[in-house]
């Protein structure tokens, strides 16, 4: 199984999701997205795999979103993907991708990942 987790080690939900994946014998590729923000095209692909608009990946309660100096382009996928690349703290976390099947889930709650790695 070829799995990637977009992980924030400072987030308890992200740590628990990673723990669940590893406890099932899966060794995921770990992308610490705060240090290595996904490219705009990758963000658009993640939203597509999740079946949500890109705006569905925003954590609107984050200060980076609420205090943004420029308006957040929530209705323009291309512009939003660039904005989100520059403000990765606002990205939902963790996002886990089954690369082989081009499917993804958000690990909130962490048990969401079980539907992805159990099949």
Angle between helices 77-86 and 40-50 (to 10 degrees): 110
pLDDT value, residue 63: 87
Asked if 81 and 54 sit in the same domain, the reply is yes
Q: 69 with 84, same domain? A: yes
What tens digit of pLDDT does each residue of 25-62 get?
999 999 999 999 999 999 999 999 999 999 999 998 98
- With a cut of 80, say whether residue 119 has pLDDT above it: no
Tokens describing residue 29: 């590729």
Query: Domain count of the chain?
Result: 2
Whether the bond into 94 is cis, omega within 30 of 0? yes
Q: Is 25 a catalytic residue?
A: no
Task: Residue 11: give the domain boundaries.
Answer: 1-33+93-119
- Domain check: are 76 and 43 in the same one? yes
Same domain, 24 and 8: yes
Catalytic residue among 11, 34, 55, 79: 11
Rounded-to-10 torsion of CA 43, 78, 57, 72: 140
Of 51, 48, 47, 36, whose CA–CA distance to 85 is shortest? 36
pLDDT at 6 over 80: yes
- Region 4-13: what's the mean pLDDT? 97
């Amino acid at each position: 199984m070829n799995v990637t987790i977009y992980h924030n080690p400072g987030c308890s939900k992200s740590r628990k999701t990673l723990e669940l994946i590893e406890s099932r014998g899966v060794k995921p590729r770990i992308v610490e997205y705060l240090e290595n923000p996904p490219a705009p095209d990758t963000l658009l692909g993640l939203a597509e795999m999740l079946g949500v608009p890109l705006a569905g990946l925003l954590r609107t309660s984050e200060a980076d979103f609420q205090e943004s100096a420029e308006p957040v382009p929530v209705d323009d996928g291309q512009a939003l993907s660039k904005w989100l690349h520059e403000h990765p703290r606002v990205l939902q976390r963790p996002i886990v991708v089954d690369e082989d099947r081009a499917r993804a889930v958000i690990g909130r709650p962490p048990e969401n990942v079980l539907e992805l790695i159990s099949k």
